[in-house]
Amino acid sequence: MQAHPFEVWNTDEATPAPADAAAAPCLHLESGAILFFPVIPVPLAEDDRAFLLAQRQSRRAYHKNVAYRPAEDRLSGADAATPADAERLRAILRSFSREAVAFVSGFLAPYAAHLRADFASFRPVEEEGRPMRLRARNDLLHVDSFPTRPTRGGRILRFFVNINPDRPRVWRTGDGFEALAAAFRDRMPPFRPDGGIAGRALAALGLARPAYDRWMLDFHNFLKENAAFQQDCRKTRWSFPPGSAWMVFTDAVSHAVLSGRFALEQTFIVDLAGMVAPERAPLAVLRRLYGTA
């Protein structure tokens, strides 16, 4: 496999290197680090990049981003000028998704048998000053949870590429999930893996959202709606230059996007069975925190 130089950007304490070199990138990620690639490690043809940079979303567009669903080979949220443009956009995102899957499966070898590709996305809109409802805002610190796609405890790993030729994509990170969950334990509903009486009743009808995903979505919303937290929490600023890439477990690293436009992204769901340090996963943290281990 081709070597891809990367840097470990620690959002918290540095992680001791494991004896198994192949597991080192995984352990860094599971410990809350961002893995940064100064050079994009997946191919993207120059004519495809130029096509993406020419795309514009109208202000009336409903979706935050253009989404590609690899399992269905389907595009949504695009505001393409013509059907031909929409088809080309779908083809570019299909290719990017496949290349991202191939790269991540090789680079993070311990995960290869335990990850699945979720949505890919193209983000052509400037993030700074973007008018969005509060819970959809990217510029507020949060941990990720998907309202319509439960992970049932699987980890959310995201791979980003800044294709903007001139401007960095700027992020902010705060404390990790374990510290935040402990700090706000008394302000959140108890975590019950079986969902409690109401959860079990809904599950019997096939209507229940898994307890883990319900708690994580509530926590995502709580952090965004907590003005004191947003103002007073520890913050670190990161700048991802043009032509760079990075990956991070966004369910455990609180993060916000402050500025930037023209990015590609691929989301992966990684089963807990593939974790190098499963005790660091948010599900394991919640079980310890609420005594449900």
User: Are the CB atoms for 44 and 96 separated by under 8 Å?
Assistant: yes
33 strand-pairing partners: 10
Sign of CA dihedral 3, 43, 49, 75: negative
pLDDT at 265: 99
pLDDT tens profile 82-129: 899 999 999 999 999 999 999 999 999 999 999 999 999 999 999 999
On whether residue 1 sits in a domain, the answer given is no
pLDDT at 207: 41
Structure pTM?
0.92
CATH number at residue 149: 2.60.120
Taking the chain, what is the end-to-end CA distance rounded to the nearest angstrom? 39
Mean per-residue pLDDT, 200-225: 78
In angstroms, the CA 149 to CA 70 distance is 14
In angstroms, the CA 31 to CA 22 distance is 16
Domain around 174:
7-289
Place of tokens 């595009």: 75
3-state SS class at 263: strand
On whether residue 2 sits in a domain, the answer given is no
In angstroms, the CA 283 to CA 116 distance is 18
pLDDT range class, residue 73, cuts 50, 70, 90:
very high
| Residue 123 or 15, more confident | 123
The domain total for the chain is 1
Is 204's pLDDT higher than 50?
A: no
